[in-house]
Structure 1
Amino acid sequence: MSSGKPWIALSPVFTWSTMCAGRVTGRQIWARTSHSTKSAPSASNVTKVAKYIAGAVGTCPEVANLAVARGPSKEEVTRMISKEEYSFLLKEGGVNRYDGTRAASNSPTEDRYIHGAFPSPWKDGKKWMAWGVLDDHAGWQTADLLEKQLVPFVRHGLDQIKSPSEQVSDEKVSDTIKKAFVHLDDSILKTAVEASQGNLPLQDKLANLAPAFAGSGDSRAVLGQKNAEGKWEAITLSIDQTGDNQEEIARLKKEHPGEEGIVAGGRVLGIMVSRAFGDSRWKWPVDLQKDLKKKFDGPSILTPKYKILTTPYLTAEPVVTSTKIDPSKPSFLIMATDGLWDNLSSQQADDLVVKWIERSTTLSKGLAEPKYEPYDFTKYEWREEFDEKRTTVQDGNAAVHLVRNALGGNHH
């Protein structure tokens, strides 16, 4: 949320999803046959395999040799990553502009996003801005509910803490946001249990259970800001709450003393995140889960693979940070789900937005986008990681720009 100084916000939402807002004053793909015996294959078997492959190729007269199917064209890629793009110019809450997009990796997409302005809870006539990127897993229902209810829950809490003459500390705001998150998650879980035990039609019971069975978590926010020397620097505003986070590991050990194996391989009882909405399998007692599994064919129970003794193991309580924005320094904010951060580091994403800002200025001077040779998948091994040499700036939307480069830049 923002209550004041000018800046730009960028938000990729990945499934993929991205949002961007701010202030500016072959894998190598191959076919392989495998023949496994205790001894080397005979010459006759090798000949048979060779004839089989030759025959298969021979049935496709237009294909001279085994080849990888052509990927989408540049135009098709642009259509896919910009289908849900949006961009707003405004002067609310210190924000000049924000961009966003969502590029789905499955259908229906599980991710959701929140953006917009609302009246300041301090009743001072100002507007606050709110953004959110919601990364669902095991379904879309939790993120769908959060898209509608998260900001109202937070707003309601903030509305209760200030009188006209009261100064509110950052700590009090932080505590209020934490309580709102936990209250909403408790409501999701409580509503699901009550619905399962009530007299509602089966369809309504399942609709109330779905947000508790699914889960939402695993996103990151990064601030880009010019320092006193005029150089851009990336400031990570959130810490990934996963089984790789040493502070989270220590917290879980403290909350569940004597329980071994809660965190293993960077996962909490098999799940990547350590804080999330929903995900009832990590929060409800085993007996309740067994009952719901039997009645409604709910998710698989974690036992006996994992030893479940003292639920809950996950929490929806967020780690809240507060950052003051210097209005004299150009700045932007990137918010995205893990689809982006699995391919880009915070610094790489920051650098890409800086290139987008600088290139926008260059394009206004009539300079053309550099040309790149087509990517040859037969010569190189394609890797799922960012390659700075393939960076391209060709999109008017900063969030689309981030998605394009995270997915390969000029690799078409």
Structure 2
Amino acid sequence: MTIQVVSLSPASHDDNRNALEEVRDFATTDMDRGGPERWTYRVLNEPTLTQELSRLSCPKSWRTGVDAVTFQPCQSYHSRSQDRYAVEEWPMPGGTWVFTGVFDGHMNGDTSELAARKFPSHLRQALEPRIRTAGPRPPNPESISEIIAQAIIQFDDLIISRFLNVLPESYRANLHNVNPSHIRQLINDKARGGQCYMRTAQAMGGTTALITLTDPRRENLWVANLGDCQAVLGSRDSSGRWSASLINSLHNGSNPQEVRRIRSEHPGEPDCVRCERVAGFLAPTRALGDAWLKLPATYTYQVFHNIEADWIARHDIRACVPRLLTPPYVSNQPDIFHRRLRPPSGHGGAVDGFLILCSDGLQDMYDGLSEQRMADEWVGVIGREIDANPRGSRGRVNLAMSLLRDALGGNDTRLVSRNLTVEMEERWVDDTTIVVQRLL
């Protein structure tokens, strides 16, 4: 056997310099994990850094003073974001109402996608007759709160009823005796259009829902919550100092009140909450969807367990089934908050300046801070931007983007670069969605 030797000329000075140029802007990090493993990231300078942040967060703004971003820097298919949001402006008698909503999906993104696309119109259809009936008089705040609550419950009921209608009545009447192969053929119908698959996926998956309404005169704010997204009101006193008010409590297994509620509804079931998760699986305690934690367990092991999807963790689902004794374990009953807003008076008094909505990914970026400290930080960031860029000034700043930038590292360009460009196959930050509504 003849061995061929290839001769290479020594690298020139220019070759060495070019090689150094190629790696100069790269660094490595342990992602604050403290272990031996290192990941490479690219150090970006301005304006490239802000441009990359904008590309990954898709900032949007509305004429009514709402800014939004939604962010997941890991670009792998399995790490695609399950967050969704909706912003709508509803012209009605008396002026334009503003709707905003953040929906943090879990298990899949199908339920949050459905909620973001369909719930706003569902609520509007319920609300509009009440507004028209009120005429020139402002509607009663309690009646609006009731409409919002009922719309959320009805929407969740609709998700589950659409799924149940996939199954023939004969199946539902004797579900535990139905041949699983018949169910698999029925619900895994992507080759036939996928309607049964999608209804099953939307019911099995779930989403939190944080929803707000403001009236045309910006005198009233309604906030409705299912799950662990957060609403924060930023207010400014007569001296110009900003302060933060947490509007809603979080519905998850870390909230002792929620744990007590679930245990009281399921006495004698120690695993109804396990490791701060519903049935040892789900962190949010209230949500849209999650039908497998709301319907009898037969639906889980006969139907949901047979869906063909890359997002289902069959082993985890099987482990939970013996714990599902007396459903429902996840609630669709929202908390509703009404707040009378303080507009500018011209006399220098306190005013409510803006509202922040966010999914729990933003909270995770401020890990270690109390909820109030976290809210104070957020309001400080937005308040400084508003003071520096009042509404109507040229080159309006996207306030949601400003808050996301602070969460990712602020003025620390290396830290922000790391959080944007680190080369990891798994997600290194949770899905993060921020909606900021100016009230001034």
Q: What residue in structure 2 maps to residue 274 of structure 1?
A: 285
Q: Distance in 2 between matches of 1:184 and 1:406?
A: 33
| Identical columns (%) | 25
TM alignment of 1:147-166, pairs within 5 A: 147-161=116-130, 163-164=133-134
Q: 1:294 to 1:342 in 2, by over 3 A?
A: closer
TM-score of the superposition, structure 1-length normalised? Answer: 0.69
Query: 2: CA distance between counterparts of 1:115 and 1:398?
Result: 15
Code of the residue aligned with 2:376 in structure 1: it is: Q
Partner of 1:396: 397
- Kindly indicate whether residue 383 of structure 2 is the aligned counterpart of residue 354 of structure 1: yes
Distance 1:290 1:171, change over 3 A: same
The alpha carbon displacement at 1:296 in A equals 2.9
What residue number does 1:309 align with? 325
Q: How far does residue 229 in structure 1 lie from its aligned partner after superposition?
A: 4.3
Partner of 1:374: none
Would you say 1:243 and 2:259 are equivalent positions? no
Q: CA deviation at 1:327?
A: 1.0
Q: What is the aligned partner in structure 2 of residue 292 from structure 1?
A: 303
The alpha-carbon deviation at position 28 of structure 1 amounts to 4.5
Letter in 2 for 1:319: D
CA distance in 2 between partners of 1:284 and 1:81 (Å): 42
Contact 1:284 1:311 in 2 (8 A): yes
Q: Is the 8 A contact 2:341 2:352 kept in 1?
A: no
Q: 1:321 to 1:306 in 2, by over 3 A?
A: farther
Q: In structure 2, what is the Cα distance between the partners aligned to 1:307 and 1:30? A: 37
Query: Aligned pair in 2 of structure 1 residues 168, 302: CA closer, same or farther (>3 Å)?
Result: farther
Unaligned runs of 5+ in 2: 1-29, 170-185, 209-227, 345-350, 367-373, 415-440
Partner letter of residue 81 of structure 2? T
User: In structure 2, how many angstroms separate the alpha carbons of the residues matched to 1:395 and 1:326?
Assistant: 23
Give the helix-richer structure, 1 or 2: 2
Which of 335, 339, 344 does residue 361 from structure 2 map onto? 339
Question: CA 1:360–1:250 in 2, change beyond 3 Å: closer, same or farther?
Answer: same
- Note the 1:174-185 alignment, pairs <5 A: 174-185=145-156
- 3-state SS in 2 of match to 1:396: coil
2:136 aligned with 1:169: no
Counterpart contact for 2:389–2:396, Cα < 8 Å: no
CA change 1:28–1:169 in 2 (3 A) is: closer
Deviation at 1:241, TM superposition (A): 0.9
> What is the SS of the residue equivalent to 1:332?
strand
Amino acid of the residue matched to residue 42 of structure 2?
G
Secondary structure in 1 matching 2:326:
coil
Q: Which residue of 2 aligns with 1:209?
A: 200
Q: Which amino acid aligns with 1:103?
A: F
- Aligned-partner Cα distance in 1 for 2:73–2:360: 12
CA distance in 1, matches of 2:399, 2:276: 32
Question: Partner amino acid for 2:94?
Answer: G
Q: Which residue of 1 aligns with 2:61?
A: 87
Structure 1 CA distance for aligned equivalents of residues 82 and 130 of structure 2: 34
Out of 294, 316, 325, the residue aligned to residue 283 of structure 1 is: 294
Question: What TM-score do you get using the length of structure 2 for normalisation?
Answer: 0.65
The code of the aligned residue for 1:87 comes to S
- Work out whether residues 81 and 403 of structure 1, in 8 Å CA contact, stay in contact via their aligned partners in 2: no
Give the CA deviation at 1:208.
1.3
Q: How many matched pairs?
A: 315
Please list the CA deviations of residues 378-410 of structure 1 after superposition, one character each: whole Å capped at 9, or x if unmatched. Answer: xxxxxxxxxxxxxxxx99321111111101112
RMSD over aligned CA atoms reads 2.9
Hey, what does 1:8 align to over in structure 2?
none
Q: Does 1:111 align with 2:127?
A: no
For 2:337, which of 311, 314, 321 is the aligned residue?
A: 321
The answer on whether the counterparts of 2:187 and 2:197 sit within 8 Å (CA) in structure 1 is no
Superposed displacement of residue 251, structure 1: 2.0
Residues in 2 aligned to 1:302 and 1:179: alpha-carbon distance in whole angstroms? 33
Equivalent position SS for 1:331: strand
The amino acid of 1:115's aligned partner reads: V
Q: For 1:339-395, what per-residue CA distance to the aligned partner results, in whole angstroms no more than 9, with x for missing partners? A: 11222311111111112223437xx99xxxxxxxxxxxxxxxxxxxxxxxxxxxx99
Give the drift of 1:265.
3.1
Which of 98, 122, 125 is matched with 1:129 structurally? 98
> Which residue, 160, 164, 173 being the options, matches 1:193?
164
Letter in 1 for 2:151: A
C-alpha separation between the residues in 2 aligned to 1:116 and 1:191? 25
Which structure 2 residues correspond to residues 139-154 of structure 1 after superposition, within 5 A?
139-154=108-123
Separation in 2 of the partners of 1:164 and 1:304? 49
| C-alpha distance 398-306 of structure 1, shift in aligned 2 (>3 A) | farther
Residues 82 and 103, structure 1, Cα contact 8 Å, conserved in 2 = no
Asked whether the equivalents of residues 300 and 321 of structure 2 are also in contact (C-alpha less than 8 Å), the reply is: no
For structure 1, the 5+ residue unaligned runs are: 1-25, 34-66, 91-96, 366-393
Q: Secondary structure at the match of 2:250?
A: coil
Counterpart position of 1:409: 410
Match of 2:229 in 1: 219
Which amino acid in the other structure matches residue 347 of structure 1? D
In structure 2, do the counterparts of structure 1 residues 32 and 223 end up closer, same or farther at CA, with 3 Å as the change threshold? closer
Show CA shifts across 1:265-289 (max 9, x none). Answer: 3322221101111112211211111
In structure 1, distance between residues paired with 2:283 and 2:187: 34
Change (3 A) 1:321 1:294: closer
Cα deviation, 1:172-200, whole Å, max 9, x if unaligned, reads 22222111111111111111121244878
Moved more, 239-248 or 299-308: 299-308
Q: For residues 320 and 302 of structure 1, do their structure 2 counterparts lie closer, same or farther at Cα, with a shift above 3 Å needed?
A: farther
